[in-house]
Amino acid sequence: MKTVFFTGKGGVGKSTMASAAAWQLASTGKRVLAVSFDPAHNLGDIFGLKLTNKKKKFDKKLYLMEVNLEKSSSKYIKDNISLLESIYSYLKPFNMERYFQVLKYSPGIEEYASLTALEELIRTEKNFDYIIVDTPPTGLTIRILALPLVTLSWIDRLKKIRSSILEKRYTIHNINGKISEKGVKLAYKETDDMVMKKLSEIETRFLALKSFLEGDNNSIVVVFNPDFLSLRESQRLINDLKELHLPFRTAINNKVEERYIKDAEDIEKKLLNEVPSVKRLRIKRIEPPPEKGYTINENLTGVLF
């Protein structure tokens, strides 16, 4: 299974290119799942279907879905609150629930919910040859893609803190003898500790996700338009991708007009001079804009990896 992320500034044509790539791959017999993470969902509009969190069949080989960020965030918060409540049940007297309940206002929840949904898709939808991802505008996408790295450094730190807590607990336990309180079962060893187990589980998942995203089976496509603002944002995006060790493989210069071809070439040079191995594709501006964006003429399948 391979994944392809279509990234770029709002309005450059990510959804259109992602749809076209998905449609073209499916037409060559590949099993394809196209999934949108953009809160302003256009995938359904492009294919003329109402899409939800559950994949829907569009064609023999092509399935579509839109990850609803609000729903995913609520589910993510609910799952985590019940996990925290079960792990910290012995803290009930301190009214910790109050703190758990305000988690929903915590910054970064949407990004974590998106990443959790993405991780699950990559782990479970192995029957597809391709998962095509239509992403939200640049900032949010980068924050989502940076999360595995950020999380792993946090987990490392948290495991050390937890380890030291368990060590102290064990020492106190040895001095005091057995704690006799009923219903409270504290762990003293790392192998018995639920918090440590959960941290290790998250670590394993995020390590696998990180190595998948950085590996040969993932491709990041940057879509841009031949204009100055798009150039600037794409330059920042390409720098961020480099910093995150994510494989930027393809650049699509979309909405190119024949009469401004010199400017389009100039922007392409400025953007891609330092990355000669990146595959390039130019797509003409279609007048009027395509109603069924997935049927554009240019072939994308050959430039994705």
Cβ–Cβ < 8 Å for 36, 15 = yes
> Which part of the chain contacts ligand ADP (CB under 6 A), choosing from 9-17, 23-31, 99-107, 260-268?
9-17
Q: For residue 248, what are the β-bridge partners?
A: 220
Q: How far is the CB of 223 from Mg ion (least distance, A)?
A: 10
When asked if residue 44 is in the footprint of ligand ADP (CB under 6 A), the reply is: no
Distance of closest approach, residue 284 Cβ to ligand ADP, in angstroms: 6
Q: What are phi and psi of 6, to 5 degrees?
A: -95, 115
Q: What are phi and psi of 142, to 5 degrees?
A: -65, -40
29 binds ligand ADP (CB under 6 A): no
14 binds ligand ADP (CB under 6 A): yes
Position among 3, 16, 73, 250 found at the interface with ligand ADP (CB under 6 A): 16
Residue 283 interacts with which of Mg ion, ligand ADP, none, CB < 5 to 8 Å by class: ligand ADP
Check residue 42 for interaction with ligand ADP (CB under 6 A): yes
Tell me the C-alpha distance between 127 and 42, whole Å.
25
Half-sphere exposure of 170 (CA within 13 A, CB side): 12
Least separation in angstroms between CB 161 and ligand ADP: 42
Minimum distance from CB of 290 to ligand ADP (Å)?
A: 6
Binding string, 253-282, against ligand ADP, x = CB under 6 A?
A: -xx---------------------------
- 40 or 179: CB nearest Mg ion: 40
- State how beta strands 130-134 and 32-36 pair: parallel
Q: Which is nearer to ligand ADP, 7 or 72 (CB)?
A: 7
Q: What is the 3-state secondary structure (H, E, C) of the chain?
A: CEEEEEECCCCCCHHHHHHHHHHHHHHCCCCEEEEECCCCCCHHHHHCCCCCCCCEEEECCEEEEECCHHHHHHHHHHHHHHHHHHHCHHHHHHCCHHHHHHHHHCCCHHHHHHHHHHHHHHHHCCCCCEEEEECCCHHHHHHHHHHHHHHHHHHHHHHHHHHHHHHHHHHHHHHHCCCCCCCCCCCCCHHHCHHHHHHHHHHHHHHHHHHHHHCCCEEEEEEECCCHHHHHHHHHHHHHHHHCCCCEEEEEEEEECHHHHHHHHHHHHHHHCCCCCCEEEEEECCCCCCCCHHHCCCCCHHHCC
Residue with smaller CB distance to Mg ion, 12 or 113: 12
Q: Which of 148/293 has CB closer to Mg ion?
A: 293
Shortest Å, Cβ 287 to ligand ADP = 7
Stretch that binds ligand ADP, among 162-170, 182-190, 273-281, 286-294 (CB under 6 A): 286-294
The least CB distance from residue 120 to ligand ADP, in Å, is 23
Please tell me whether residue 12 binds ligand ADP under the rule CB under 6 A. yes
Listed ranges 22-30, 71-79, 197-205, 289-297: which one lies at the site for ligand ADP (CB under 6 A):
289-297
Binding characters for ligand ADP, 195-234, by CB under 6 A (x = yes) = ----------------------------------------
* Residues at the interface with ligand ADP (CB under 6 A): 8, 10-16, 42, 254-255, 283, 285-286, 289-290, 293
